[in-house]
Amino acid sequence: MRAHDRGQDPAILAGVRVADFSRVLAGPYATMMLADFGADVIKIEGPDGDETRAWRPPADPQGSSTYFAAVNRNKRSMTCDLAGPDGAAARRLAATADVVVENFRPGVMERFGLGYEQLAAVNPRLVYCSITGFGRGAGAELPGYDLIVQALGGLMSVTGEPEGRPMKVGVALVDVLTGLNAFSAVLLALRRREQRPGPQRIDVDLLSSLLAGLTNLAAATLTTGEPPGRFGNAHPSIAPYETFETEDRMLAIAVGNDRQFAALCRTLDLPDLPLDHRFDDNPSRVQHRSELREVLEARLRTAPASEWQERLTAARVPAGAVSTVDEAFALAERLGLGLVTGAPGAGRQAANPIRMSSGSPTYRIPPPPLGDRGPLGWSDERDPDEEALA
């Protein structure tokens, strides 16, 4: 990490240089998180740019892809044909970086002279993060697309209605989980570098991130040998914990204990329901889920979701109307969470969700136009031997 001007309060990752060879979502999400906290992220793109630059509509008022913008703020862009003569510039940059992040197929970076062993030989401080779909071993050639991992990784098998088709999650959730894991791993490696100097290799893959993210479903499967099925919006181990129809829209209710269930029944004017042996404890409610749902939904249909949400919340029963994304941002605004932001010259975006008492994320520059290096060059006091990198 390089020195900072005295008298200024530097960002947490100020002075950390990141050479970002990743594209699409998981890698760019990780590097944007680093950039939000002050890292100098240089996005190295091919002559045609990151594929997501062309993923529109929708587009912002300047005509740029909102998909690209969502994960590439606070970065600078360098265009480079890694297989051509200007690949040497990318190798020099990588050799001066604190962090390299890449998500090419295993073996591709080595062909460009940008593999871990090649760079670590000239950059002993290197943190090198590889993001793959299925690891660098036997799964190296499998396609690392979020949809494919949701399918092969079991997530689709537990998503959707019990009698319906398996469904993907509405956002590329596996990519986001993997990006967060990569972000965390880079921070750990930078801390490790302070304790024990030397290069560090990080491997993060989509399948492992998904399987770890299955948490209780993974534990249940590994313990019993029985894969879980689809429960729609219901919970396999808790009831009532799902969505219900009301007079106007769906309402989610999450009852986690007997106290909450009793409060739910009082609020719905069903005070005798907890006395029914089918519903007197959670295992019984799970066993008789369909009967319980029928009774509750008949009552919930008599009033709008907003009224039930207000009454149940007052009774300390977790409940919320199923909302659209714009309604969700409006809720965050009313709660003072400040989740909408925009770097200078950029459109509105979801803000970084991490808040710090000191060193909070900042939004300094918009997602870069292709090849826009920004106001700074690539010079560095640790320039390596150019002949070793050419």
What is the model's pTM? 0.89
pLDDT in tens, 116-161: 999 999 999 999 999 999 999 999 888 899 999 999 999 999 999 9
Cα(156)–Cα(165) distance, integer angstroms: 9
**Which domain-ending residue is among 331, 349, 364?**
331
Note whether residue 288 is domain-resident: yes
User: Are residues 111 and 248 part of one domain?
Assistant: no
pLDDT in tens, 229-285: 999 999 989 999 999 999 999 999 999 999 999 999 999 999 999 999 999 999 999
Note whether residue 3 is domain-resident: no
Residues 200 and 138: beta-carbon distance below 8 Å: no
Proportion of the chain above pLDDT 70, given as a percent = 93
User: Are residues 154 and 25 part of one domain?
Assistant: yes
Q: Which of these is catalytic: 86, 175, 203, 326?
A: 175
Note whether residue 316 is domain-resident: yes
pLDDT in tens, 278-329: 999 999 999 999 999 999 999 999 999 999 999 999 999 999 999 999 999 9
User: Are residues 55 and 119 part of one domain?
Assistant: yes
CATH number at residue 90: 3.40.50.10540
The number of distinct structural domains making up the chain is 2
User: Are residues 193 and 70 part of one domain?
Assistant: yes
Note whether residue 226 is domain-resident: no
User: Are residues 381 and 305 part of one domain?
Assistant: no
Lowest mean pLDDT among 7-21, 121-135, 188-202: 7-21
User: Are residues 285 and 149 part of one domain?
Assistant: no
pLDDT at position 339, please? 84
* 290 Cβ neighbours under 8 A, 6+ residues apart: none
What is residue 115's DSSP assignment? S
Note whether residue 228 is domain-resident: no
pLDDT, the chain, mean: 90
CATH number at residue 319: 3.30.1540.10
The pLDDT of residue 9 is above 80:
no
User: Are residues 283 and 155 part of one domain?
Assistant: no
Residue of 308, 266, 349 lying closest to 58 (CA atoms): 349
User: Are residues 346 and 321 part of one domain?
Assistant: no
The pLDDT of residue 377 is above 70:
no
Note whether residue 173 is domain-resident: yes
Sign of CA dihedral 131, 135, 141, 142: negative
Alpha helix segments (H runs only) across the chain:
26-36, 66-70, 87-96, 108-111, 116-120, 146-152, 173-195, 206-213, 215-224, 258-267, 282-287, 289-300, 305-314, 325-334, 386-389
The pLDDT of residue 29 is above 90:
yes
User: Are residues 182 and 93 part of one domain?
Assistant: yes
User: Are residues 136 and 89 part of one domain?
Assistant: yes
User: Are residues 351 and 251 part of one domain?
Assistant: no
Domain that holds residue 196: 17-213+341-389
pLDDT at position 224, please? 95
Note whether residue 40 is domain-resident: yes
pLDDT at position 1, please? 39
The pLDDT of residue 40 is above 90:
yes
Q: Is 175 among the residues known to form the active site?
A: yes
**Which domain-ending residue is among 281, 305, 331?**
331
pLDDT at position 8, please? 55
Note whether residue 230 is domain-resident: no
- How many CB atoms neighbour CB 176 within 10 A? 19
Query: Which residue did the predictor score with more confidence, 377 or 327?
Result: 327
**Which domain-ending residue is among 313, 331, 349?**
331
User: Are residues 359 and 312 part of one domain?
Assistant: no
pLDDT in tens, 89-107: 999 999 999 999 999 999 9
Mean pLDDT of 195-224: 95
